[in-house]
Amino acid sequence: MAKKSRRARRQASTVAQPVRVSRPVRPQAEGPAKEVDFSEEYHYVLEDLRRIALIATALLVLLIVLVFIIG
């Protein structure tokens, strides 16, 4: 006896229909690009990097201490 398939069978009457894709509309440039002061825009990034470095260093020191305590 043939084994039953658990996979759902596709209907043969389903035909793929073409899809129309529209082009994205590009906005018109109003003038020259503005100058961006990145140090003013992203002032918090250096603080976050310092905080991440401090946490990483503390965790590394903790791991080294635990190696000597447990090992």
Tell whether the model's pLDDT for residue 64 goes beyond 90.
Answer: yes
Place of tokens 């906005």: 27
Cα 71 to chain centroid distance, Å, stands at 39
DSSP one-letter string for 17-71: -----PPPPPPPP-SSPPP--HHHHTHHHHHHHHHHHHHHHHHHHHHHHHHHHH-
pLDDT for position 8: 64
**What distance in Å separates the CA atoms of residue 40 and residue 51, rounded to the nearest whole number?**
19
* Global model pTM greater than 0.95: no
pLDDT for position 48: 97
**What distance in Å separates the CA atoms of residue 37 and residue 48, rounded to the nearest whole number?**
19
pLDDT for position 63: 97
More confident site: 2 or 48: 48
How does pLDDT run across 18-62, given as a tens digit for each residue?
Answer: 888 888 877 776 777 788 888 888 999 999 999 999 999 999 999
